[in-house]
A and B are shown apart, each in its own frame.
Chain A
Amino acid sequence: MNSSTIGRISALLLRYFFLLRSSWPRLLEIAYWPTVQMIIWGFTSVHFSNSSPELTAGGILISAVLVWDSLFRSHISYTLSFLEEMWSRNLANLFVSPLRPWELILSLATVSMIRTLIGMVPAALLAIPFLESQSLNLVFPCSDSFSTLFLPDGRFHRRSPVSYYATDWVQKA
């Protein structure tokens, strides 16, 4: 990756940084829904803790919800970042610039990860004191899982990283 490529990718990251900075409702919205999900499933988890303790031990249920929501949010973030360019009728400006298609894809993937982190980190941090969840145990498996999702190295087609890490984590827990 040469300096021109890094410059072009950083230009798009700067564009999304300016966009997020310009609107606090947009920023709030990113963090809002994961937190709502966490609260709803947190109550559900507490409710089942007496009748089905095996389901909620170590915060399995809430952590699983957070993993699922982070995948869902990363997908939405990726799609929305691309749609944002369409809505603002800016795609032609990007496609006539020296930006290459794979640089656009990499930028959108990076933006999507940043947006997902903005959404998931507050929810995961809130889950620790309120629901006694060990959700931060998932940070390393999840980051590897995301890299597998975003980097087309063929692993995704051999085995779904979601099912791999979910099974692996449940076995360890």
Chain B
Amino acid sequence: MIKPDSLLKVDRLSKRFRSKWAVNELSFSLSPGSIMGLLGGNGAGKTTTLSMLLGLLEPTSGSIRLFGHDFVKNRHTVLHRMNFCSPYVDLPQRLTVRENLRVFARLYGVDNSSARIEELTADFRLLELMDQPIRRLSSGQKTRVSLAKALINQPEFLLLDEPTASLSPDVSQWIRQRLRDYRDQTGASILFASHDMREVELLCDEVVMMSHGRLIEQGSPQDLQDRHQRGSLEEVFLALNEQGGGA
């Protein structure tokens, strides 16, 4: 369902690789200030969808409207208002945390970048890591730096691709809390791709479930559980996949 006041409107979005439809007629919208989870098993089309929403892949058909602009044709008009974080995309390994943040602050045209970097250093507890090269950091530390980079320009729209993959539960919980705080403080919208059902349940206001590139269910985590009379999102997802032939 596409809402009129949406920050992001995705309409009949499709992506085909040769004969395979990775994303097929996907439509959803994201309201300002909400956190949406893009849920699905492996190969469901989450990362392909995110790649199209970032402008890394061109859709085969369909449209993306972001901040009221046609994102496919004019992505450079809105890219400075959004940012992205994924454990599968590294920051330059030889550069230190401070150097990386300085480069990305300049790349995004951040005013008073030193103050912003200091603020993020405190928020993400990076003070002791600032002069360490990225390659010497642990997975959890890299994720914190990557998130600090993603928030350097105070994005109004943040895209996250499994940001807590391979992290311990305490670090995951800490990152979820930071994301919730950021949304509450700035009113930013967050789109969160994950296959961790529990995490999506804890963090997201709304969920889009995908399987084989198609949208199979949409709603708030509680709505979905009530609608399918299940105790958790994971059970809902498994039930939907059984009905649809499995992931």
Interface membership of A151, Cβ < 8 A: no
> What residues of chain B lie closer than 8 Å to A92, measured between beta carbons?
54, 56, 84, 86, 89
Interface membership of B99, Cβ < 8 A: yes
Q: Tell which of B54, B84, B95, B96 has the most Cβ of chain A within 10 Å.
A: B95
The contact string, 1 if C-beta is below 8 Å from chain B, for chain A 73-103, is 0000000000000001110111111111000
Say how far B236's CB is from chain A's closest CB, in angstroms. 31
Binds B, one of A7-15, A52-60, A126-134, A159-167: A7-15
Interface residues of B, dominant DSSP: mixed
The contact string, 1 if C-beta is below 8 Å from chain B, for chain A 135-169, is 00000000000000000000000000000000000
Known contacts A15-B95, A22-B95, A98-B76; is A89 also within 8 Å of B90 by CB? yes
Q: How far is the CA of A93 from the CA of B134 in the complex (A)?
A: 15
Q: How far is the CA of A94 from the CA of B103 in the complex (A)?
A: 11
| Contact call B54/A96, Cβ cutoff below 8 A | yes
Say how far A66's CB is from chain B's closest CB, in angstroms. 30
Interface membership of A4, Cβ < 8 A: yes
Taking CB as reference atom, which chain B residue is nearest A88? B92
Residues of B in contact, count (CB < 8 Å):
29
> What residues of chain B lie closer than 8 Å to A18, measured between beta carbons?
94-96, 99, 103
> What residues of chain A lie closer than 8 Å to B56, measured between beta carbons?
92, 95-96
Q: How far is the CA of A22 from the CA of B106 in the complex (A)?
A: 19
Say how far A30's CB is from chain B's closest CB, in angstroms. 15
| Contact call A99/B92, Cβ cutoff below 8 A | no
Return the contact of A8 from the options B84, B89, B107, B133 (Cβ within 8 A).
B107
Interface membership of B55, Cβ < 8 A: yes
Interface membership of A36, Cβ < 8 A: no
> What residues of chain A lie closer than 8 Å to B91, measured between beta carbons?
88, 90, 93
| Contact call A7/B89, Cβ cutoff below 8 A | no
> What residues of chain B lie closer than 8 Å to A12, measured between beta carbons?
103, 107
Q: How far is the CA of A8 from the CA of B84 in the complex (A)?
A: 17
Q: Tell which of A4, A7, A15, A19 has the most Cβ of chain B within 10 Å.
A: A15
> What residues of chain A lie closer than 8 Å to B176, measured between beta carbons?
none
Q: A-B pairs with the 5 shortest C-beta distances?
A: A11-B106, A11-B107, A89-B90, A18-B99, A92-B89
A residues at B contact (CB < 8 Å) = 4, 7-8, 10-12, 14-15, 18-19, 22-23, 88-90, 92-100
